[in-house]
Structure 1
Amino acid sequence: MNIKYFAVASALLATPVIADDVSYSVGDDALTGYWAAAENPQGLVLIVHDWDGLTDYERKRADMLAEMGYDAFALDMFGDDTPTETIDHRRAATGALYQDRTRMRALLQAGVAQARERSEAEAMVVMGYCFGGAVTLEMARSDMTAQARGYATFHGGLSTPEGQSWDGDEPPLLVMHGGADTSITLQDVTGLASELEEAGNTYTIEVYSNAPHAFTVFDSDRYNARADAASWDAFTAFLANRTSE
């Protein structure tokens, strides 16, 4: 499966009712998110971007979800003035948030508020890519956890920071990981699984053979069509299950 398949499949579905950038702020910082709305939403999805910021990739995923019948909001974790052009820029942007979890959670809460302001759907699921996967798990562990019915990560960061833990009361988790990922290893996967088992969480972990880190990113050298298709199928089933209760 590739981007051409998605384009054909999308043509068979309804287009988003609304699909546009959204300006908002956290304190003095200006941010830009992306809102894609379905005509009769079955639920709401909050999308957390990768370390290169909110790009056309997240916008495409939001459009795909709206075409499937879900409202979707891709939030901004960096702000309009944060450079992301180079690897050093991206390391600085993500590193600042890893060091300031209070700020990370405030940005998440602002994104939730923007999504809730626009959607009438009650059930929300949070999903994230790479860095966004780590942020998604941060929200799941936080006092915001009950605001969503489920949390899903695609090739995301899996480590639990010092001072945090899983208590077993978090909503169900879906973790989708590439078996050939050298940035986040299979040891990281088993470490998270051990933590979740000990806490008594409900979770599913899928590992896709030969898929590298960032295996869902269209038109990149790391894109793996088979793993992308399988992970999207897993997520859409998870999403349907979590929003139908």
Structure 2
Amino acid sequence: MPVSKSANAMTIEASWVQISVPAAAGVTATVMPGWWVLPEQPRGAVLVLPEVFGVNSWVRSVAERLAQEGYAALALSTFSRSAPDLDVGYDEAGLAAGREHRDRVTAEQLLADVQAAVDWIQQSHPSLSLGCVGFCFGGHLAMLAATNPAIAATCDFYGARVSSFKPGAVEKTTLSVVPEVAGRLWCFCGDQDPLMPAEELQAIDQALRSADTEGSRHRLVVAPGAGHGYMCQARADFHPEAAASGWNQMLELFAEAL
């Protein structure tokens, strides 16, 4: 059942939807839940890829904040094949559950899910330009999603291990796909993030610069004093100043690209 919400004179409709994901590249067919939030007159659409904690209340609030800015937003269940309804808290038990399902995700699955979501949005809103934002593991996946030619702009918030790991792959890394990104890609992290050491940031910076020699499409944004998960109010590392800055820069990118 759709839920109507109003904030700052903006009326939005929010509801769970079910998106069919066909079998492809070793990916089994399934139905993927998504939290779909639609403003009255959308100016663009954004895919929201969650942390390992699932499409929980904070992730849904991100989609709703984007809708209040005029963007249709679809928060995807990236664990749709093993735990489609995962919604856990920011504690050790929640982290353990999320990591169990994280390790079952493959790049092929993610790309199939993203294409299904893109097709679903474009069927009803073909004129909307598309963006993507992801947090933590969702940030890592957002870098992969950015290779979808329909996505014009992507924000990867503290997507760790992109220089050393690619879901479901043995030899390749997620960072190796950056040259395939046709749109814009901004990577965000805190300089106190233990999951993203200096060598990881250097690798990301080098990959972005190599793929965008003019420096007009890609960007690495390092937030001083911020740790991992600094955008999320429910996490211990929440950093109000860095979160506000990251949110505003994301909106800047989407306003320019979408």
Query: TM-score, normalising length from structure 2?
Result: 0.80
Question: Number of aligned pairs?
Answer: 228
**1:101 corresponds to 2:125:** no
Amino acid of the structure 2 residue aligned with 1:157: A
**1:15 corresponds to 2:11:** yes
Q: Partner of 2:196 in structure 1?
A: 184
Shift of 1:115: 2.7
Amino acid of the structure 1 residue aligned with 2:57: D
Q: Partner of 2:98 in structure 1?
A: 90
Query: TM-score, normalising length from structure 1?
Result: 0.84
Shift of 1:172: 1.3
Structure 1 residues not aligned, in runs of 5+: 1-9
Alpha carbons of 1:101 and 1:209: their partners in 2 closer, same or farther (altered >3 Å)?
same
SS in 1 for 2:233: coil
Amino acid of the structure 2 residue aligned with 1:22: V
Alpha carbons of 1:57 and 1:110: their partners in 2 closer, same or farther (altered >3 Å)?
same
Which structure shows the higher strand fraction? 2
Q: Partner of 2:25 in structure 1?
A: none
Q: Partner of 1:4 in structure 2?
A: none
Q: Partner of 2:154 in structure 1?
A: 151
Q: Partner of 1:62 in structure 2?
A: 63
**1:52 corresponds to 2:35:** no
Shift of 1:158: 5.4
> RMSD between aligned alpha carbons?
2.1
The range that moved more, 126-135 or 187-196, is 187-196
Percent identical among aligned pairs is: 22
SS in 1 for 2:179: coil
State how 1:122-201 maps to structure 2 within 5 Å. Answer: 122-140=128-146, 142=147, 144=148, 146-157=149-160, 159-160=162-163, 161=166, 162-163=171-172, 164-167=176-179, 170-200=182-212
Shift of 1:12: 2.4
Q: Contact between 1:24 and 1:31, CA under 8 Å: does it hold in 2?
A: yes
Structure 2 residues not aligned, in runs of 5+: 1-5, 22-27
Q: Which has the higher contact order (CA 8 A, sep 6+)?
A: 1
Which structure shows the higher helix fraction? 1
The range that moved more, 41-50 or 88-97, is 88-97
Residue number among 227, 230, 235 corresponding to 2:245 in the alignment: 230
Amino acid of the structure 2 residue aligned with 1:58: V
